[in-house]
Amino acid sequence: MEEPRSHQDIVRETFDSLCKKVLKYNAIDIQRQISRQCGREVMFSELTEQDFAKLSMTDEYFKDAYVFFVLGENVGVTDSDLAEALNEIPADRRDIVLMSYFFDMTDAEIAARLKVARRTVAHRRTSTLKKLKKLMEESED
């Protein structure tokens, strides 16, 4: 004769059956989802040039920029007149202007970096700005 099963055994078997069903139908759902996705997705290598162009974008931030190397970093200047004027100025004075305007450094910070007096930096910056203005006015004519 078979012994009657305890309530705990019945609950355990019911829970076990429920877990197996949940896992089985979850796996079926995942397989359906993957097959739907595969039907809609296309590999980039399979796209035509026109379709790929619709999906892609090219950054052109510094495409036409003139690049100056200051403090170990590249500074891009997009205005061609300004870039040409900056090219005509000695590098040490150009660096002061670029540090001031592109790196937002104070005269004191620039002076500490270049190991010169703050007044020297201020004088060089103002005289360089005057020269830049003159050069840019000449290029407009």
User: What pLDDT was estimated at residue 1?
Assistant: 63
State the pLDDT at residue 31. 95
pTM here is 0.55
Residue 126 inside a domain? The answer is: yes
Q: Same domain, yes or no, for 31 and 90? A: no
- Give every residue of the chain whose pLDDT is below 50, as ranges: none
Quote the tokens at residue 63.
């495409």
Is residue 31 located within the same domain as residue 74? no
Within a domain: 60: no
Q: Give the integer Cα–Cα distance in Å for 17 and 134.
A: 87
Residue 1 domain flag:
no
Instruction: Give dist(CA 46, CA 48) in Å, integer.
Output: 7
Domain identity same for 48 and 73: no
How many Cα neighbours within 13 Å face the side chain of 82?
15
pLDDT in tens, 6-32: 889 899 999 999 999 999 999 999 999
Residue 78: closest CA among 68, 90, 64: 64
Cβ(106)–Cβ(96) below 8 Å: no
Range of the domain at 51: 7-55
Look at residue 24 and tell me if it is in a domain.
yes
Residue 2 lies in a domain: no
Q: How many domains, in total, are found in the chain?
A: 2
- Do residue 36 and residue 91 come from a single domain? no
